[in-house]
Copies of this chain bind each other. A is one copy, B any other.
Amino acid sequence: MKQKKTLSIVGLGLIGGCYAKTLRDEFDMIYGIDLDERALSYAESEGIIDKGFVDPKIPLSESDLIVICLYPNLVEEFVEKNIDNFKSDAVITDAVGVKGDLIDRIMGKLPSDIDFVGAHPMAGREVQGVWNSSEKIFSGANFIITPHPLNHAENLDLIEKLAYKMGFKTVTRITPKKHDEIISFTSQLTHAIAVALVNSDEKNFDTNVFIGDSYRDLTRIAMINEELWDKLFMGNKVNLIRKIEKFEESLDIIKTSIKQGDSESLKEEFRKSTVRRKEIS
């Protein structure tokens, strides 16, 4: 498949801005679609996009690739509403952190000449908005593609190729089901822990002057976009509850070791975590 020439970014927030910035050289024309006109005019004036639209009709009709960076619950609705606006042979992709049966449902609605490639760029920041987007956010991060049986192989390859162009370090293909299981551990569980940690602060002292890097690092993600993460947690309920419970068991081993003064068992946990963490870059 030859290089796509026109790109539309739907939802020009932090992640949408990162797509636009890192794909700048890959497309002749980049459109931004958003209800927020400030985001559009900022992105236009900074050259992040060539032109912004509130109404998706025109840009979609011209686009070879459409990247939807909307909240999880809005992606399907957007595709449905615009089903007649996409160009023949268009490739659509998303950036939703929990897949569920979203891709199945969308593929069931799209005509066969339009493809939808599920994707999850595993990158983010504790800030929002196109104003905070940066090439650095994607650089060195992991990218996941969740192929559907009806996807065209060339379109999966296109998204993979573009992910590397965007600066991602690894691109992994996996089923939506497996994706959600894994992500409940590496992403949703970590956010649940950070939020719980900050909220368990008894605040009977000025935390700020007693913290080291560990507390700072563990809690950065406790500054959390409540609407987005509510959708992600609720959309991955069964997996996430299971992972929280596995984590609780693991924490309980440590607690019991401390209670019983069992240094051998405690050190065994430390050795295990050290070896495992060293495997991660």
Chain A residues with a Cβ under 8 A of chain B: 122-124, 141-142, 144, 170, 172, 178, 182-183, 185-187, 189-203, 205, 207-227, 229-230, 233-234, 237, 240-241, 243-251, 253-255, 258-259, 261, 263, 266-267, 269-274, 276-281
Do B122 and A212 have beta carbons less than 8 Å apart?
yes
What are 12 contact pairs spanning A and B, CB under 8 A?
A123-B212, A186-B211, A192-B255, A194-B214, A195-B273, A196-B253, A199-B269, A207-B279, A222-B274, A241-B258, A241-B259, A244-B254
Determine the chain B residues whose CB is within 8 A of the CB of A222 once the complex forms: 273-274, 276-277
Do A224 and B187 have beta carbons less than 8 Å apart?
no
Do B172 and A210 have beta carbons less than 8 Å apart?
yes
Query: Which residue from chain B places its CB closest to the CB of A144 in the assembled complex?
Result: B210
State which of B123, B193, B215, B251 has its C-beta within 8 Å of the C-beta of A187: B215
Determine the chain B residues whose CB is within 8 A of the CB of A247 once the complex forms: 196-197, 200
Determine the chain B residues whose CB is within 8 A of the CB of A271 once the complex forms: 226
Do A276 and B201 have beta carbons less than 8 Å apart?
yes
Complex Cα–Cα for A223 and B273 (A): 6
Measured CB to CB, the closest approach of chain B to A176, in angstroms, equals 13
Determine the chain B residues whose CB is within 8 A of the CB of A241 once the complex forms: 255, 258-259
Determine the chain B residues whose CB is within 8 A of the CB of A258 once the complex forms: 233-234, 237, 240-241, 244
Complex Cα–Cα for A210 and B253 (A): 26
Determine the chain B residues whose CB is within 8 A of the CB of A122 once the complex forms: 210-212
Determine the chain B residues whose CB is within 8 A of the CB of A220 once the complex forms: 217, 277
